Amino acid sequence: MLIKFLNRIRNGLRPGSVFREHTVRRHRIVLPPEHRIDVFQQHWKKYDCALGEIARLVLRKYPHATAVDIGANIGDSAALICKHGDFPVLCIEGNRSFLPFLKANISRLGPHVELEESFVADDQTRITEAKIDTRNGTASIAQAVGTEETGPRTSTKRLQAIVEHRPRFSHAKLLKIDTDGFDFPIICNATDFIEASRPVIFFEYYLNDLPNEENQSLAAIESLFNLGYHRHLIYDNRTI
């Protein structure tokens, strides 16, 4: 079934495009032709490794913990979260370029990993699909939010609304966010979930040079401080 599914994806790619498989500890995932995580890890051995160790420590303290993965991409972060055990993970992803691969990789990770096809923001936010910047295996919706461009537009959901329909994850102890510049509004709009669950939060501090973005980043940090998050660890993704 998985091979047939991937063959359908392959039929829509450029001639000569090939899939690659990549090992994340005990799982093998399928990478799109343009994805670069395996290349990056050849140069920077600890690239994208911290999350797996954080997940291990969370599970050690909370044996029945669950995780929420916002900006799940193709499932590589979910595989990393599950590297030491079957950590239940809710993968949230709205980018149609990633979804076929994410679905295929989730099927490899096991039934403890679930999918929510959505972008996360407040209820009024709209995303213009044509403005989503997708390249080299990553994507940013920062410039697609609230634009007036014509073409298909996608609605968003608040994190609290998503987990209300998936109660298994309503008190997740690990919250991972990686949306290339939209992490700050997500944090500010998820304070009700964060206050109720008190998860370990792993997010990317990334600035796109967009208007008001620095203020948004400071507002997100202030929100976390106000919720009692007074200790922070900073990781350099390319430290050897």
Give the domains, in start order, of the chain with CATH numbers: 20-226 (3.40.50.150)
Burial class of residue 67 (count of CB atoms within 10 Å of its CB; 0-12, 13-18, 19+): buried
User: In 3-state terms, what secondary structure has residue 180?
Assistant: coil
pLDDT score recorded for residue 12: 47
Alpha carbon 17 to chain centroid, angstroms: 25
Which two three-digit tokens encode residue 85?
């055990």
Q: Enumerate residue ranges in the chain where pLDDT < 70.
A: 1-18, 124-155, 209-210, 238-240
Phi, then psi, of 223 in degrees rounded to 5: -60, -40
d(CA 145, CA 132): 9
Burial class (CB in 10 A: 0-12, 13-18, 19+), 229: middle
Q: What is the pLDDT of residue 162?
A: 95
pTM of the model: 0.84
CA angle at residue 44 from 38 to 50, to 5 degrees?
A: 90
Contact 22, 29 (CB under 8 A): yes
Give the span between the Cα atoms of 165 and 174, in whole angstroms: 18
* Closest-CA residue to 202 (of 40, 65, 97, 49): 49
User: How far apart, in whole angstroms, are the C-alpha atoms of residue 98 and residue 104?
Assistant: 10
Name the H helices within the chain.
2-10, 37-43, 50-61, 76-81, 99-109, 159-164, 183-188, 191-197, 213-226
pLDDT, one tens digit per residue, over 12-34 is: 444 445 678 888 878 999 998 88
pLDDT at residue 13 in the model = 46
- Check residue 217 and give its pLDDT: 92
pLDDT digits (tens, 9 = 90+) for 42-62: 888 777 788 999 999 999 999
- What's the rounded Cα separation, in Å, for the pair 186 and 198? 16
